[in-house]
Amino acid sequence: MSNKRFYIETYGCQMNFADTEVVNSILMEDGMDPVQTAEEADIIFVNTCSIRENAETRVWNRLKEFRSLKDEKRDLTVGVMGCMAERIKDKIIEQEKLVDIVVGPDAYREIPNLLKEVDDGRKAVNVLLSLEETYADITPVRTSGNGVTAFVSIMRGCDNMCAFCVVPFTRGRERSRPMSSILSEVKQLSDQGYKEVTLLGQNVNSYNYEDIDFTRLMDEASKVDPEMRFRFSSPHPKDFPEPLLHLIAERPNLCNYIHIPAQAGSDTMLERMRRPYTREQYLTLIDKMRDIIPGVSLSTDIITGFCDETEEEHEATMSLMKIVGYDLAYMFAYSERERTLAHRKYEDNVPEDVKKRRLSQIIEQQMNIQEQINNNEVGKRHLVLIEGTSKRSDEQLAGRTDTNKMVIIDKKDFRKGDYVEVIITGNTSATLFGDPVKKSSIAEFYENRELVAS
Ligand code: 5AD
Ligand code: SF4
């Protein structure tokens, strides 16, 4: 036991942020106290991401900054956790002498022991991946965040082996967390006043624990608290379950928003990427989503400039994005990662300037599409969950629609955690502005909407 102060800085995806909350819990159980800045801490952890080169570069730069803190503060301990751990353990400890601890995503329970090794003057490393670890019995501690929306991890690892992706190597094999432990975390969050939960996994539709599938899990989770909203991230287009679409359509607290990564728009590219679906199958799935859940909001991930990408393939990605008309898209230039199939088998041969140009083209098109979609929101009525004060003004609040669009309203008497009925009055390509009508609830809002519709 010790009463040292720790600080964790997190990079990467929501999974990584959820892992930080698990590590908060492990360290606090061990008697340590969380602090909000690196300067106050005795122990600094950087929770790292390897998905693209620039994610790693940011972490390296940050570690160098911590190195100078270490010079000032002799007994400062610096640790690297997360996805970069395995890949760079030797480099990090031997060449650069930047860090004392390297701990991979499945070894977080070992952190207290690793810290003892450091106290004894050794460098400590554990990057072993596991087939079972889900941290099911650990209740994450949310030290940052808004107290309204939370992430709950439902599985770990990934077995998909997309040709470009390093995740199967950094996070290991896929395994699902027991449903009972997920539901009890959801219940706890509801008791603490949280109003929205996003269930997280690298590939949520392959969730499977003792024959419970993802649709059943969503069904059970949404029944824990009908006034709590549920989202999920990310499903895979190859086997998205149709019963889930019907469930989302029926259940007012399952959000009408689906993040469904396409990655590319041509069959040839999808095949090279080892994405086991065709453009047509993907578009059929999108039609089904829109058919079953009218007004569903959709987002995607797109990679541009993957190996051997031709101009035609790029155009096919552009046209897919135009046909679907995504409400939101995360767009990336391909970044080669060691150990992936693409690294072993293909050449990263699209020149940087071509990657950049193609990326700008898809971003520009997407911004125009979003602007048009959001223009059409004006005049519509939404139930907005208030997440906090607007970044721009203390007199305004920011929240999200069920369809995951950010809305800014005047503060009036509303507060964080309220559901507010809002009429949209204006927009940009990224944000909506609205007039608040009144405080409401999921039950009230959807009952009225059904009355209006019938
Ligand atoms: N280069 C660029 N983008 C990548 N992604 C995954 N691997 C790479 C890579 N090597 C993107 C994918 C994925 C998102 C999380 O990051 O679009 O869905
Ligand atoms: Fe998340 Fe992937 Fe980055 Fe790991 S490499 S933190 S799984 S985005």
Ligand found nearest the CA of 332: 1
Domain ranges of the chain: 5-126, 149-375, 381-453
The residues with which 254 forms a beta bridge, in sequence order, are: 230
Does the Cβ of 340 fall within 6 Å of ligand 2?
Answer: no
The answer for residues whose C-beta is within 8 angstroms of residue 138's C-beta and 6 or more apart is 22, 25, 26
Ligand 1 atom with the shortest distance to the CA of 337: 10
The residues with which 396 forms a beta bridge, in sequence order, are: 410
Does the Cβ of 170 fall within 6 Å of ligand 2?
Answer: yes
Separate counts of helices (H) and strands (E) for the chain? 14, 21
149-375: CATH topology: pyruvate-formate lyase- activating enzyme (3.80.30)
Thinking of the domain 5-126, which architecture would CATH place it in?
Answer: 3-Layer(aba) Sandwich (3.40)
Tokens, residue 340: 């992936």
pLDDT computed for residue 453 by the predictor: 54
Contact 404, 418 (CB under 8 A): no
Q: Are strands 208-209 and 155-156 parallel, antiparallel or unpaired?
A: unpaired
CA distance 329 to 368: 12
Which DSSP helix (H) or strand (E) runs through 153? strand 149-153
Ligand 2 atom with the shortest distance to the CA of 105: 4
pLDDT computed for residue 448 by the predictor: 76
In angstroms, what is the span from residue 48 Cα to ligand 2's centroid?
Answer: 8
Question: What's the order of all strands across the beta sheet hosting 328-333?
Answer: 257-259, 297-304, 328-333
Q: Which of 16, 301, 302, 358 to mutate to test the pocket of ligand 1 (most atoms within 8 A of CB)?
A: 301
Ligand 2 atom with the shortest distance to the CA of 47: 6
Output the CA angle 399-404-410, nearest 5 degrees.
25
Tokens, residue 177: 């967390």
Contact 42, 77 (CB under 8 A): yes
Domain 381-453 has CATH 3.40.390.10: no
pLDDT computed for residue 96 by the predictor: 64
pLDDT computed for residue 447 by the predictor: 86
Tokens, residue 36: 């909000």
Contact 309, 269 (CB under 8 A): yes
Amino acid, res. 137 = D
Q: For residue 394, what is the DSSP state? A: T
From residue 351, how far is each of 101, 304, 357, 399 by CA, in Å?
Answer: 37, 12, 10, 41
Does the Cβ of 20 fall within 6 Å of ligand 2?
Answer: no
Output the tens digit of pLDDT for each of the chain's 454 residues: 458 999 999 999 999 999 999 999 999 999 999 999 999 999 999 999 999 999 999 999 999 999 999 889 989 999 999 999 987 787 776 766 789 999 999 999 999 999 999 999 888 999 999 999 999 999 999 988 899 999 999 999 999 999 999 999 999 999 999 999 999 999 999 999 999 999 999 999 999 999 999 999 999 999 999 999 999 999 999 999 999 999 999 999 999 999 999 999 999 999 999 999 999 999 999 999 999 999 999 999 999 999 999 999 999 999 999 999 999 999 999 999 999 999 999 999 999 999 999 999 999 999 999 999 999 999 999 999 999 999 989 999 999 999 999 999 999 999 999 999 999 999 999 999 999 999 999 999 998 776 655 4
Ligand 1 atom with the shortest distance to the CA of 164: 10
Report the predicted TM-score, pTM, of the whole model to 2 decimal places. 0.95
pLDDT computed for residue 74 by the predictor: 86
CA distance 449 to 431: 23
In angstroms, what is the span from residue 75 Cα to ligand 2's centroid?
Answer: 30
Ligand found nearest the CA of 46: 2
In angstroms, what is the span from residue 412 Cα to ligand 2's centroid?
Answer: 40
CA distance 85 to 105: 8
CA 376 to centroid of chain Cα atoms: 27
In angstroms, what is the span from residue 35 Cα to ligand 1's centroid?
Answer: 32
Does the Cβ of 15 fall within 6 Å of ligand 2?
Answer: yes
Q: Which residues line ligand 1 (CB under 6 A)?
A: 51-52, 164-165, 261, 263, 301, 303, 332, 334-335, 337
In angstroms, what is the span from residue 301 Cα to ligand 2's centroid?
Answer: 14
pLDDT computed for residue 237 by the predictor: 98
Tokens, residue 333: 């230039």
pLDDT computed for residue 454 by the predictor: 47
In angstroms, what is the span from residue 94 Cα to ligand 2's centroid?
Answer: 24
Contact 101, 123 (CB under 8 A): yes
In angstroms, what is the span from residue 167 Cα to ligand 1's centroid?
Answer: 9
Q: Which of 11, 14, 15, 51 to mutate to test the pocket of ligand 1 (most atoms within 8 A of CB)?
A: 51
CA distance 235 to 172: 18
Structure-token match 């799935």, residue found: 285
Residue-wise over 268-288: b if at least 16 C-beta within 10 A, else e? ebbebbebebebeebbebbee
Cis omega (within 30 of 0) on the bond before 180? Answer: no
Does the Cβ of 51 fall within 6 Å of ligand 2?
Answer: yes
In angstroms, what is the span from residue 330 Cα to ligand 1's centroid?
Answer: 9
Q: Kindly write down the DSSP assignment for every residue of 239-295, as one continuous string.
A: G--HHHHHHHHH-TTB-SEEE---B-SSHHHHHHTT--S-HHHHHHHHHHHHHHSTT
Q: Are strands 5-10 and 43-48 parallel, antiparallel or unpaired?
A: parallel
Contact 118, 357 (CB under 8 A): no
Does the Cβ of 165 fall within 6 Å of ligand 2?
Answer: no
Contact 419, 439 (CB under 8 A): yes
CA distance 125 to 116: 12
3-state secondary structure of 6: strand
